[in-house]
Amino acid sequence: MSWTLGTLVIFGSLMSESTALLLAIVCFAIGLILCVVEMFMPGFGIAGITGVVLLLLGVLFMARELVQGLVLLLAVIVILATMIIFSVRSFQRGKLSKSAIVLNVATDAEEGFNSAENRDDLLGLSGTALTALRPAGMAEIAGERIDVVTDGGFIAADTPIQVTQVEGYRIIVEASKKVEAAKKA
């Protein structure tokens, strides 16, 4: 694709003024169409990126001097900004907000959706670090192997630990107070 753009730029300088104008109009038209296609049928961005490149090529073919090119570039930016504002507004309140591609319903615990098993039963329990926790690792708590994390500190393997906080799947532990007291003594 880059060699195609380079070829267009090189041969663009050799074109007559009417051919350059026609090519600029075609680039603008196809670029705008591809940008609209990207807004209403989002994908990998190929259509949108190609549309923006074609819009910029249209500016290149249209401009006779730097100031005119900057004015045209500003016009393209204003057009693209208007299209983005329109698509965002359409996603929020327009026809797109009522279509199947926009998720309008939240899934939460009140409606029966739970992304993580509630493990509040582990709060305050003691166990043993099976692996080094730096800060994440495995521990055995109440006879069960569980992924745990620390508040950022390192805890060596086979160190007694205690669960201090539970946030969904995230089970936060710290070295048992008895171990810390023995290290200080």
Whether 19 has a pLDDT exceeding 60, the answer reads yes
Q: List Cα–Cα distances, 76 to 20, 47, 102, in angstroms.
A: 18, 17, 28
Residue 57: inside a domain: yes
Residues 6+ apart with CB under 8 A from 37: 47, 51
Between 53 and 111, where is the model more confident?
A: 53
Residue 112: inside a domain: no
- What is the percentage of the chain residues whose pLDDT exceeds 90? 24
Residues 134 and 180 occupy one common structural domain: yes
Residues 40 and 79 occupy one common structural domain: yes
Whether 185 has a pLDDT exceeding 60, the answer reads no
Between 76 and 27, where is the model more confident?
A: 27
CATH number, position 155 = 2.40.50.140
Whether the model clears a pTM of 0.75, i.e. scores above it, the answer is no
The structural domain count of the chain equals: 2
Residues 92 and 130 occupy one common structural domain: no
Whether 8 has a pLDDT exceeding 70, the answer reads no
Tell me which of 32-41, 88-97, 114-123 is least confident. 88-97
Residues 67 and 20 occupy one common structural domain: yes
Question: What is the mean predicted confidence (pLDDT) over 77-92?
Answer: 78
Residues 140 and 174 occupy one common structural domain: yes
Residue 75: inside a domain: yes
Residues 23 and 79 occupy one common structural domain: yes
Residue 176: pLDDT band with limits 50, 70, 90: confident
* Residue-level pLDDT at 98: 66
Residues 125 and 88 occupy one common structural domain: no
Residues 10 and 80 occupy one common structural domain: yes
132-152 pLDDT tens trace: 999 999 999 999 999 999 988
Residue 139: inside a domain: yes
Residues 87 and 155 occupy one common structural domain: no
Residue 129: inside a domain: yes
Residue 107: inside a domain: no
- The whole domain housing 131 covers 120-184
Q: What are phi and psi of 65, to 5 degrees?
A: -145, 170
Final residue of a structural domain among 41, 68, 98:
98
147-171 pLDDT tens trace: 999 988 899 999 999 999 998 788 9
Residue 151: inside a domain: yes
Which residue pairs, CB below 8 angstroms and at least 24 apart, start in 84-87?
A: 84/39, 86/39, 87/39, 87/40
Residue 110: inside a domain: no
Between 82 and 69, where is the model more confident?
A: 82
Residues 18 and 64 occupy one common structural domain: yes
